[in-house]
Every structure is written in C-alpha cells, then in structure tokens.
Amino acid sequence: MKKYNFDLIIERKNTDSLKYGALQEIFGTTDLKPMWVADMDFKTPDFIIDAIKERLEHPILGYHDYWESYYDSIKWWTKNRHDFEIEKEWICFSPGIVPALGICVSVYTEKGDDVLVQPPVYHPFYYAIENQGRNVLSNPLIEKDGEFYMDFEDLETKLKKGVKLMLLCNPHNPVGKRWEKETLEKLAFLCNKYNCILVSDEIHSDLTMPDFKHFPTAISTTNEDEKANIITLMAPSKTFNIAGLATSEVIIPNPDLMKKFFHQIGDVLHMYTGNTLGAYALEAAYSPMGGVWVDELRDYLQENLKAMNDYLHSNFPKIRTYKHEATYLPWLDFSAYDLTHKELLRKLAFDCKLGLNDGTIFGKEGENKMRINIALPKSELMKAIEHFKHL
Ligand SMILES: Cc1ncc(COP(=O)(O)O)c(C=O)c1O
C-alpha cells in the first residue's frame, strides 16, 4: 500500500511560486502550463512541515549553531542512500548548490582561467564561470542511439592545457544521465592526473529512476589522492521540494580545499549558517521516513515518465525522447519538425500553451530541444502533453 498521494492537485497560482509567477517574464504570456523551473507540484511531506512547526513552538529565531544530530542526519543519508561514508569535518553548509558552485570557481581559479563543463548542462554553471571573469571550456557530451556519453579523448586534450577546475553534473541535468562507476572512475583519475579539482553537483542524486542507483563521484575511486580532489554538492531541496528553504551541504574531504571554501563562505560572505527552519527540515528529510517518501516519489516519477513516453511515441512520433535515468526533467528533441528554434519556442508557448525550458539555455547543443518538468500529478501531465497536437 502506498503511503503518499502524488495525485493531489494543489493550486500554486497567485502564491509566491516562481514557476507560476514568472511566466510573463520568461514566456511573454501567462496563459500556459508551467513545466519549466525544477521544483515539483507535489506537497512537501508532512514530516518536514511538522518538524518546522515544532521548531516554531520555540519563540526565538536567533542565529543558530549546528547540532550533532543535524550532521548525523547528513552522514546517515549519504551512507544509507548512496554508500558514501563521510565525516562531520567534511561538511559545510551552503544556502544553495549554485552559490557553492560560484564559491568553488572564485576560490579555486583566478580571473582568465578556463573551467571545464560538459554541455548541454544546467545553465547556472555558465553564470558561475563567466560572471566571475573565467572562461567556459566545453567538453560536450556525445549522443549515441538516444543515450549520452563523456568524450574522454577531448577531455584529456583539454585537461592537458592545465585547467584547474571542472564542474560535473551527476546525475546530469538536462540529459537525465546517471553516470556509471567506470565513467566516474576514469574522470576522477584524469582530473587528479592533471591537477584539475573536480566539483560534482549531485543535487539530483536522490532522484534516479527506480531501476538506477546513483553513484557518488567521490566513491568511484579508492585512490586517496583522487578522492581528495573531489568536492561533492548535495541537498534535500530537489528531493523533498524544499528549494525555498535554501539549505544544502558541501562535502570536502581535503582540509586544504575545505579551508579555502570555508574562508570564502564564512569569513568573506558570512554565510556559513543558513536559515534555522531549513536545518530542521533537512534533519527531518534525511531520515528513514524521508527514504520511504522518496522511494514512492521515484516510483511515481517513473510512471509519469513511462506514461509520457508511451503517449508521445504513439501520438507524436516526431518528438524524440532519450534514455532517461535520473531527474524529473526529461530532454525532448523536436528537430523532426520543420521549424526554426525560434518558431518552436513561439509555437510551444502560444499554440501549445506549454512552458518548457528552452534547450539553448543549456548550451548551443540544445538547439531544437526542450526540457520538460514531469513532477506533477499524472492527470495534469497527460492533459498538458496533449497540447503538442498544436505543433
Ligand atoms: C544541476 C543543478 N544544480 C543546482 C540546482 C539549483 O541549486 P540551488 O537552488 O540549491 O542553488 C539545480 C536546480 O535545478 C540543478 O538542476
């Protein structure tokens, strides 16, 4: 028997939701179904809301100091869900993964340096690099038969130039790839060989499809130097739909790298503790109850993915889907339509009335592609994708 109801439709219009509130600004119309920014239209589970309410029983919300069971919950989750054993001393708070990416770029590179990324990739990777005067060095993913792979030959050529930092997306947004151990092992080896720090954004790690297990980059290797060269970014925000609580964890086993990161987040930005309610939410999330909830969620997302793909393959065979192993954000290819990218964007927004992410924000590889958010009640998803008939 399932415990949680993901079929529940919850009205989010005219709340403080970015996904619903920013439609005019992003799409030039408000008359569409928002299936873009990565949060879910599902209820944050009660055990998290209850933990926040319980904290509010105490009437003072002053600066907080992290407590032992807060760290224990992170350690328990990474070990229990991902076989990743970490120490308390390796954990640093960050208000988000994007701020942590920005800090890594600022402290481990200098202006004018190259930073490696694998496009098409989550667009704030580019902002973290370019908006701080660094250069994006692309190692594009290779697509073969609907699946994505890393191009190690190209990567090694680029690493040989002396790149200091690489931002990895594991699992990969937007192509929905869960990287295998062998791929990550090779990557960890190469980055260490060429003295390139590897930052692994694992915000989607809990959201693999049920048949796929996430593999943390940091445990892909047993070599201590390679392990010490990897920084892992994780968070309960995507998993439990609590992005608004701005609470994530940065895992840095190497004391020298930790010192630099902490100096920036603590001594420069004074951001080393987040909001108190986020910390209580994290502790409630990273628990056995959280495990039950996320497993039911993954089953539900898998059903949504299958229902969408079956429907698209039968009714709109020109829309190409890819092998999707993780995230609730599948990648769709519309190249078979006789439309320019600009026409495609206009038709999707104004004729289909669907607010999808423009593929090109993730890089030029996203031409004629879109990212769709399927974390919504199945009835709503199926109603929405019928609209592709207007393409
Ligand atoms: C790969 C990836 N990293 C980071 C984020 C956002 O992180 P945060 O909101 O914690 O800054 C997202 C959100 O979609 C994402 O997909």
Closest ligand 1 atom to the C-alpha of 235?
10
CB-neighbour burial class of residue 54 (10 A; exposed 0-12, middle 13-18, buried 19+) = exposed
Residue 109: what pLDDT?
98
d(CA 384, CA 391): 13
Q: How many angstroms separate the alpha carbon of residue 172 from the centre of ligand 1? A: 11
What are the tens digits of pLDDT across the range 102-133? Answer: 999 999 999 999 999 999 999 999 999 999 99
The residues lining ligand 1, judged by C-beta closer than 6 Å to any ligand atom, are: 38, 96-98, 122, 169, 173, 201, 203, 235, 237, 243, 248
Q: What are phi and psi of 139, to 5 degrees?
A: -120, 80
Buried b (16+ CB within 10 A) or exposed e, 19-47: bbeebeebbeeeebbbbbbbbbbbebbeb
Residue 272: what pLDDT?
85
Q: How many angstroms separate the alpha carbon of residue 98 from the centre of ligand 1? A: 6
Residue 23: what pLDDT?
96
| Residue 10: both structure tokens together | 């919850």
Probe residue for ligand 1, chosen from 93, 97, 118, 233 as the CB with the greatest number of ligand atoms within 8 Å:
97
Residue 131: what pLDDT?
98
Q: How many angstroms separate the alpha carbon of residue 203 from the centre of ligand 1? A: 6
The answer on pLDDT for 1 being more than 90 is no
Q: How many angstroms separate the alpha carbon of residue 18 from the centre of ligand 1? A: 14
Closest ligand 1 atom to the C-alpha of 100?
11
What are the tens digits of pLDDT across the range 127-183? Answer: 999 999 999 999 999 999 999 999 999 999 999 999 999 999 999 999 999 999 999
d(CA 135, CA 130): 6
Residue 294: what pLDDT?
98
- In which band, very low, low, confident or very high, does the pLDDT at 223 lie, cut at 50, 70 and 90? very high
What are the tens digits of pLDDT across the range 344-366? Answer: 999 999 999 999 999 999 999 99
Q: What are phi and psi of 223, to 5 degrees?
A: -70, 120
d(CA 286, CA 72): 9
Probe residue for ligand 1, chosen from 98, 104, 129 as the CB with the greatest number of ligand atoms within 8 Å:
98
Residue 9: what pLDDT?
97
Residue 359: what pLDDT?
98
Q: How many angstroms separate the alpha carbon of residue 28 from the centre of ligand 1? A: 24
User: Which residues, other chains included, contact 5 with Cβ-Cβ below 8 Å and sequence gap of 6+?
Assistant: none
Domains in the chain (CATH in brackets) are 18-45+289-390 (3.90.1150.10), 60-287 (3.40.640.10)
Q: How many angstroms separate the alpha carbon of residue 284 from the centre of ligand 1? A: 21
- In which band, very low, low, confident or very high, does the pLDDT at 99 lie, cut at 50, 70 and 90? very high
| Residue 7: both structure tokens together | 């079929």
Closest ligand 1 atom to the C-alpha of 327?
16
CB-neighbour burial class of residue 162 (10 A; exposed 0-12, middle 13-18, buried 19+) = exposed
Residue 228's alpha-carbon distances to 159, 188, 255, 259, in angstroms, are 18, 10, 9, 13
- What is the pLDDT averaged over residues 56-64? 96
